[in-house]
Amino acid sequence: MPIPGVPIRWHFCGESVTPTRVSDPGAPGSDGAFETLRWIRGRLPRLAAHRARLDATLAARHLPSPDWAEILRVVETRAADVVEARVRVAVPFQSPGQPHCTCEVTPLPETFAARRAGIAAVTRPVPRADALAAPAEKLTSRRDALQRLVDAVSPAETLLVDLDGCVLEGATWNLFAVVDGRLRTPPTGPQVLGGTVRAAVLEAAVGLGLDPVVGPLPLDAVWRASEVFATNALLPLAPLCSLNGRDLPPPGLWQRALLEVVDGEFVA
């Protein structure tokens, strides 16, 4: 079991598993594809969706898929005594020697509960559509570009807004809002990466008869919303409690109903 709070990186090269510190100077630093998964009580929710997205990104570059069976085996072994953890699987596009992937397992800190209870965000305009990667690809370069946008504003959570005044996504999450009795979320595109939990929420909404709307979501509509919440693999649903210092409505019936469907088997 890794020491809590100290991430360990395993390199998978064929049958070998070599543990190294994340700060190891030999760790890959080039662009690559990655997925962040949630380990919870011995399971990886939505593993198939994460795997499909990563494998598709690699296939587009004629790179082999990682050995998911080996990844799962090592994660299950290393995190066997951890209730909940972040698992990050990454594959660099350019690396010396044999292509490989890395797997980083980090137990979630107790402070993460506060983020799930409510996110305080600030808006940040995005100057151009080509600032981020293609919509179906979760790349380290895209993550770094988002981080630069965040750092330019404040240490708070950031909600990106396009030049037309429509909200896009958070730096690490997708956004949903209940506006005039309809569940709404921005469409995916060059500036919005479709998360696995976002897809699960949309599917759950249809099953609940909520008839979700996927389309441009003006910031003005967010101010009128009765519920606003963020989704990502680790949250998986968390309310936005304030935006630009202005309070937003508390969690409502829609968010709770969707959470029960999307993540009910993992809710204590």
Whether 177 and 250 map to the same domain: the answer is: yes
Residue 130, in any domain of the structure: yes
Residue 19, in any domain of the structure: yes
Whether 102 and 190 map to the same domain: the answer is: no
Whether 84 and 154 map to the same domain: the answer is: no
Cβ 239 vs Cβ 210: under 8 Å: no
Whether 236 and 143 map to the same domain: the answer is: yes
Whether 118 and 187 map to the same domain: the answer is: yes
Q: Provide the pLDDT for residue 132.
A: 57
Q: Provide the pLDDT for residue 143.
A: 83
CATH number of the domain that residue 213 is part of: 3.20.10.10
pTM of the model: 0.86
Q: Which of 79, 107, 135 is the last residue of a domain?
A: 107
Residue 1, in any domain of the structure: no
Residue 132: half-sphere exposure toward Cβ, Cα within 13 Å? 26
Whether 68 and 118 map to the same domain: the answer is: no
Distance CA 208, CA 215 (A): 20
Q: Which domain holds residue 27?
A: 8-107
Whether 235 and 256 map to the same domain: the answer is: yes
Query: Residue 18 in 3-state DSSP?
Result: strand
Residue 3, in any domain of the structure: no
Distance CA 244, CA 249 (A): 14
Q: Which of 107, 125, 154 is the last residue of a domain?
A: 107
Q: Provide the pLDDT for residue 268.
A: 45
Distance CA 46, CA 64 (A): 21
Residue 227, in any domain of the structure: yes
Number of domains in the chain: 2
CATH number of the domain that residue 12 is part of: 3.30.470.10
Distance CA 247, CA 236 (A): 21
Distance CA 3, CA 27 (A): 20
Q: Provide the pLDDT for residue 78.
A: 86
Distance CA 68, CA 72 (A): 6
Whether 103 and 169 map to the same domain: the answer is: no
* Helix, strand counts (H, E) of the chain: 7, 14
Whether 222 and 133 map to the same domain: the answer is: yes
Q: Provide the pLDDT for residue 24.
A: 35
Whether 212 and 153 map to the same domain: the answer is: yes
Q: Which of 80, 107, 134 is the last residue of a domain?
A: 107
Q: For the packed helices 196-207 and 47-59, what is the interaxial angle rounded to 10 degrees? A: 130
β-partners of residue 102 are 11, 90
Residue 221: half-sphere exposure toward Cβ, Cα within 13 Å? 22
pLDDT in tens, the chain (268 residues): 333 433 445 555 444 444 443 333 334 457 899 999 999 999 999 999 999 999 999 999 888 898 899 899 989 988 888 899 999 999 988 765 566 788 999 999 888 999 999 999 999 988 765 555 555 688 888 888 777 777 766 667 899 999 899 999 998 999 999 999 999 999 998 889 999 999 999 999 999 999 999 999 999 999 999 999 999 999 999 999 999 999 999 999 999 999 999 987 555 4
Tell me how far apart the terminal alpha carbons of the chain are, to the nearest angstrom.
23
